[in-house]
């Protein structure tokens, strides 16, 4: 008798680890320049320096990771949270480049999703946002084809 006949879980797909990382980045500090300027102006109070350090760490440790199936977002300084978005759930991709970010070659990517926990995902202050959006769009299309997902309005 074969093992698959006795094992009820043998017919289910075997676990496969996630594909290799396609793109990774951390949130840029450009968005914090005004905040840092105010903190430095009041540095004699000491508290603004502590607030500036916390803001720096929070931004530096906020990172994004893209695989062919998922977008992972890690946040937190002492305790870390990881939010994963299945790419086939992405409905729309928009690129925004506010003036300050555009001056430094950065921008924000806004994803409209069908995910209930995170209907809008914002990748803030990303280097070369248009190229990243193109890579994201390619992965989304491949995931939708592979899973047979179609959008119905």
- The backbone torsions φ and ψ at residue 30, rounded to the nearest 5 degrees and listed phi first, read -55, -40
pLDDT tens-digit map of 78-87: 999 999 999 9
**Would you state the pLDDT for residue 19?**
73
12 within a domain of the structure (yes/no): no
pLDDT tens-digit map of 42-55: 988 889 999 999 99
pLDDT tens-digit map of 4-50: 445 444 444 444 556 788 899 999 899 899 999 999 999 888 899 99
41 within a domain of the structure (yes/no): yes
Residue position matching structure tokens 């300084």: 77
> DSSP letters of 3-56?
HHHH-TTTTSPPP-PPPPPSEEEE--GGGGHHHHHHHHHTGGGSHHHHHHHHHH
5 within a domain of the structure (yes/no): no
Contact between 64 and 14 under an 8 Å Cβ cutoff? The reply is no
pTM: 0.81
Number of domains, the chain: 1
Tokens, residue 79: 């305790």
**Would you state the pLDDT for residue 153?**
62
What residue numbers bound the domain in which 93 lies? 20-147
């Amino acid at each position: 008798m074969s093992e698959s006949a006795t094992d009820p879980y043998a017919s289910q797909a075997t676990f496969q680890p996630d594909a290799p990382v396609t793109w990774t980045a951390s949130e840029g500090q450009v968005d914090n320049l005004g905040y840092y300027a105010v903190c430095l102006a009041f540095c004699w109070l000491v508290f603004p320096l502590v607030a500036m350090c916390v803001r720096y760490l929070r931004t530096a440790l906020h990172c994004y990771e893209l695989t062919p199936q998922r977008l992972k977002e890690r946040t937190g300084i002492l305790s870390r949270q990881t939010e994963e978005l299945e790419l086939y759930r992405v409905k729309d991709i928009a690129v925004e480049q506010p003036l300050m970010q555009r001056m430094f070659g950065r921008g924000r990517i806004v994803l409209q999703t069908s995910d209930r926990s995170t209907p809008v995902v914002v990748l803030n202050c990303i280097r070369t946002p248009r190229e990243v959006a193109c890579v994201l769009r390619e992965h989304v299309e491949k995931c939708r084809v592979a899973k047979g997902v179609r959008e119905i309005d």
